[in-house]
Amino acid sequence: MEQYGDYLLRTAVLLLRDRQAAEEAVQDTFIQAFENIAQLRDGDKLRSWLTRIAVNRCRMRQRKWDWRHIFPMPRMDQHVNESVPAVDEMLGVHWREAEMIKSVQQLPYTYREVITLYYYNELGVQEIAAQLQLNINTVKARLMRGRHKLRQIVVEKGESDA
């Protein structure tokens, strides 16, 4: 749990846009994993197996929600490097990351799911296809469409901020 908890929580928060729901999904993930650990044939694939369970838990929660959240997402914990950059630089990077996360969270779930797994969890297209039980071309198409929609969101934000 200590080894994969933060990783799974980050994934769930990005997918669900709600920290409390994400924490519950991760808790459910570990419970399900504990109950079904005998099904894991290759211990080297524990991380992938847990990620697949977590994504499925998030999907189940997402299906139950047919309404938008009224409250904004609580800020995700940031890990700070040992070397500390200049304050202006650090604030600029943090602001851009926060804006990108907000933009990703505006995507429809199917696009948000593959974008999160690809960019934030650094999974390859084949790994995503295996975890989501999708065709590789479907994953590629969702990534392409997700990037396109994300670009539109970022451009619209830029125009509204100007």
Say if residue 83's pLDDT is above 80.
Answer: no
- 111 and 161 inside one domain: yes
C-alpha dihedral (22, 27, 28, 31), degrees to nearest 10: 160
Contact 8, 28 (CB under 8 A): no
Tell me, yes or no, if the pTM score tops 0.85: no
Question: Do 91 and 145 belong to one domain?
Answer: yes
Q: What is the pLDDT of residue 73?
A: 42
Tens-place pLDDT, residues 36-81? 998 888 888 899 899 999 999 998 888 765 434 433 444 444 444 4
Tell me if 72 is assigned to some domain.
Answer: no
User: Tokens 């419970």 label which residue?
Assistant: 31
Instruction: Name residues whose C-beta falls within 8 Å of residue 107's C-beta, 6 or more positions apart in sequence.
Output: 115, 146, 149, 150, 153
* Span 3-43, pLDDT tens digits: 889 999 999 998 888 899 999 999 999 999 999 998 888 88
At residue 69, the pLDDT reads: 41
* Any domain includes 79: no
CATH of the domain at 13: 1.10.1740
Mark whether 54 and 104 lie in a shared domain: no
Decide if 80 is inside a domain: no
Element (H, E) at 2: none
Q: What is the pLDDT of residue 141?
A: 96
Cα 100 to Cα 52, 94, 113, 120, distances in angstroms: 24, 10, 15, 11
Q: Which whole number is the average pLDDT over 111-140? A: 92
Q: Which range of residues forms the domain containing residue 150? A: 86-162
Number of domains in the chain: 2
In angstroms, the Cα distances linking 86 to 42, 81, 100, 120 are 45, 13, 21, 25
> What average pLDDT is seen over the chain?
81
- Beta carbons within 10 angstroms of residue 111's beta carbon: 20
Q: What's the pLDDT score for residue 71? A: 35
As a whole number of angstroms, the distance between CA 89 and CA 150 comes to: 24
- Say if 111 falls within a structural domain: yes
